[in-house]
Structure 1
Amino acid sequence: TSHRWLKDRDEHSGTPLTGSLLSTGRGDIFTINCSGFDWHGVDPAVFQGVFARNSFRPVLDYNSPTHVNISFTLSAILEVVSPGSTLQWSSGEQWYHPFIRWNPEECGGIRHLSIATENLWLPDIFIKEFMDVDQTPTDLMAYVNSEGQIKYNKPMQVISICNLDIFYFPFDKQNCTFTFSSFIYPAERMVLGMEKEVQEILNMSQNLIQKQGEWVLLGIHQTASKMTVGTNQYNQIVFYLAIRRRTRLYIINLLVPSSFLITVDALSFYLAAENDNCAAFKITLLLGYNVFLLMMNDLLPASGTPLISVYFALCLSLMVVSLLETIFMTHLLHLATTQPPPMPRWLHSLLLYCTSSRRCYPTDPQKGNKGLGLTLAHLPGEGSQSRKAELNGFPGSTRAQQEDRAQKQHLVSLWVQFSHTIDTLLFRLYLLFLAVSVVMVVILWNT
């Protein structure tokens, strides 16, 4: 069989024609011979004339533009990391081919045909933000109807540039832009339009998108504009995708453990400062928090400084401050019970004012009783000396020595009481700073 492209005049209407198309200002009719259609399929020779012209834009008048309508359906958001995003979608292109028309009633009722894309002219639509090699399969099919409308759908895995703002991670919302444009044909040769309404594209995408993914599709917006390159202008359609991250994974794995550890560190202030294991406990807690950060580092964004990293750094700093406070209190108590220095008069007056009027930061009841209830037995070596003195009736002791011991005991009691007051003050400042920091972080996340 030979491939034929028939061009007949109006007066040849007696010849069986499958369809007709009148070019502007001409009386010519372009038809496809219906003899190539039968019950066993379509003879490829019928379209040989069309296939031979697949290198040229299919128009009757080359000065008239080709209208290409585009659409897409988002099926999965695979990954969104700076500086790019990976999405899986199916894009569609639809245009009119004036040289492919037939009458279905005369051609065995055939209304649609599938034709290999390698035999057709395809619009050179590309995505400006595309940052990887196009891996779309080449052996795809296009669908043609009897009116000459061609619809070409192709599945794509798009890896594109997407400017991410990860400051509010994991409660962030991102906006990715995808610009469809022609690379070769300017606006006077190709006009881009929409095949479907944006709301229809959004509804189909939300129904198809994988629910178990990390991201949720919030909305799609579209604008049409023109891009100027040199002296030419190119039509382009810009889609704006609004997506939101699902936060449950990060709340359970990041925020909850961190909150538990910082709460335990805050409660460790209730441990007695005289306890030798207090510093060891806080060191263990600090090491555990560092191990937690190392294990959860893969969940954090690879670039940028999100707010959650500031929160983790703040928690770590508070733990270090808590450890330093324990070391300082241990040293102060050790100094107060071994070699207490003379207490300045202003400090003594301030301590009496705070403990008597309770206007400052009152001493913790458990710690304060320990400070006020000290006896000679609390002093290193004094307990055995006092007991010997009681058994021997204070032989060789003088009234001056007893007064020195009493003054030393009173001085130790004052310094211990001062230490516990400072401990309570630092604890409340710790709680105040922690509460203010957490509230500020929450407010920033909610804005």
Structure 2
Amino acid sequence: MLLQHRISLLLLLCSSPLVFVGGNSTEVPCDRRCLANARVQKELFSAPQNDNCTIVVNITSIQYETLSFDTKGMEMTSRIKVNMEWKDPDLGWMQEKSRYPTIVLPVDKIWIPRIVLDNAIETTIEPYTNDVQVRRDGTVEHAVVLFTTVSCEINLFNYPFVKGSCPVAINGWSQKTCALTLQIADNVSLVDSSGGEWQTNSVEKIVDSSNRAYLLVELSINPFSAFVTLILPSGLVLLADLVSFALPFEGGERNSFKVTLVLSFTMFLLILNEHLPNGGNCSPLLHYHFSFCLVCLVMSMLVSIVLTRLSVEDSFLVCRRSTKVHPSNSTKTQHDDQDQEKDLKPKDISVVQDQEVIDKSIG
């Protein structure tokens, strides 16, 4: 009887630690933060390594916005929001361990794919949020914002009536054996169509023959601003120069006015050179228009100077002495003659009277 009692007590002591451990495991379940901390502790900073060493990233949607367009340098600055997702099996978990379908992880604690823009001059990538969403199967959902500047070759011959397109190449990266492949959906939307003088008409995804994807941005110029600031003033200056021939030659008012017109038009030409590119395959037609107008103004000024010279002198040659009396000089001569007649008139009367007295005495 004593032996049986001791055996029962030994079995009770051996089973009590198991009950205690089992009770703790059921009483303290792992919540979302516990599940997220377990993934953070793995320190998964490298890309998922598959057998073929290829990472596939799905671009679910793209939101495009043109920030500015530099007409002088032919550079376009854009803001692109990219929503993407990829699968990292090491971030997943089994349903038996946790009942939560999704968790949130810090963006700097896991590997994030980097998008490469082939034709970009400068690119800045920023995360849209500081967190990423991870599903049970290891699928990661994330969004980034790209601020990029690309070079555009648009024909400006018909400026300001210009339409053209500018490509923005969006690709992954590839090495000899490993690659980052982007599968871009057709869900491309335009956020804002106005960007100063230039307007964005449309944006669409294009895939070329080498299976490289890029965004084709259609641009156009609003001609109202250029017409009011450049074309209309040039026409008004030419009109003012044409009407200036009604001004008189005397005083040099016409020549001064024409010189002022030439100087003002030269200022417009300098503004045009600072705004439009000087080189390229096809120079803007507006350059030739302003050059022709400037030549017309200079020729008109020279003709006015020659006519002014001919109206005052017999010849426009500076070295030749003129025989034509200036109107002011002729007026002065007439006044001098009148003064001389006034001075001599009393003397003439006295001479006549003396002559009459001598005649009478002789007679």
- TM-score of the superposed pair, with normalisation by structure 2: 0.65
Match of 1:117 among 102, 107, 128: 107
Amino acid at match of 1:157: F
Structure with max Cα Rg: 2
Contact 1:63–1:189 at 8 Å: present in 2 too? Answer: no
Q: CA deviation at 1:173?
A: 2.7
Deviations 1:301-340 (A, max 9, x none): 355343323222222111101112212333444455999x
CA distance in 2, matches of 1:161, 1:299: 18
Contact 1:126–1:182 at 8 Å: present in 2 too? Answer: yes
Contact 1:124–1:184 at 8 Å: present in 2 too? Answer: no
Residue of structure 1 in register with 2:76 after alignment: 85
Residue of structure 1 in register with 2:169 after alignment: 179
Residue of structure 1 in register with 2:16 after alignment: none
The count of aligned residue pairs is 297
Structure 1, 236-245 or 169-178: larger mean CA deviation: 169-178
Amino acid at match of 2:168: F
SS for the counterpart of 2:156 is coil
Q: CA 1:330 to 1:125, structure 2 compared with 1: closer, same or farther past 3 Å? A: same
Residue of structure 1 in register with 2:245 after alignment: 269
- After superposition, residues 15-414 of structure 1 pair within 5 angstroms as 38=31, 41-47=33-39, 51-59=42-50, 62-63=51-52, 65-70=54-59, 71-81=61-71, 82-101=73-92, 107=98, 110-132=100-122, 134=124, 136=126, 140-185=130-175, 189-195=179-185, 197=186, 200-201=187-188, 204-205=189-190, 208-209=191-192, 211=194, 213-225=196-208, 236-271=212-247, 276-294=252-270, 296=271, 300-301=275-276, 303-304=278-279, 305-334=283-312
Q: CA deviation at 1:158?
A: 0.6
* Structure 1 spans left out of the alignment, 5+ residues: 1-34, 228-234, 340-376, 389-447
CA distance in 2, matches of 1:274, 1:96: 89
- After superposition, residues 429-440 of structure 1 pair within 5 angstroms as none
CA distance in 2, matches of 1:337, 1:78: 59
CA distance in 1, matches of 2:253, 2:314: 19
SS for the counterpart of 1:113 is strand
Q: CA deviation at 1:164?
A: 3.9
CA distance in 2, matches of 1:337, 1:89: 72
Q: CA deviation at 1:216?
A: 1.3
CA distance in 2, matches of 1:113, 1:303: 56
CA distance in 2, matches of 1:287, 1:185: 60
Deviations 1:59-109 (A, max 9, x none): 4xx12744322343123422334253221221233223344456889955x
Deviations 1:226-270 (A, max 9, x none): 76xxxxxxx531221111233333223222222221211122234
* Structure 2 spans left out of the alignment, 5+ residues: 1-27, 318-325, 338-363
Amino acid at match of 1:162: C
CA distance in 1, matches of 2:295, 2:263: 13
Contact 2:74–2:151 at 8 Å: present in 1 too? Answer: yes
Structure 1 vs Structure 2 CA RMSD: 4.1
Q: CA deviation at 1:152?
A: 2.2
CA distance in 1, matches of 2:88, 2:128: 21
CA distance in 2, matches of 1:212, 1:239: 17
Residue of structure 2 in register with 1:445 after alignment: none
Contact 1:166–1:172 at 8 Å: present in 2 too? Answer: yes
Q: CA 1:107 to 1:77, structure 2 compared with 1: closer, same or farther past 3 Å? A: same
Contact 1:142–1:152 at 8 Å: present in 2 too? Answer: yes
- Larger RCO (alpha carbons 8 Å, 6+ apart): 2
- Sequence identity of aligned pairs in percent? 20
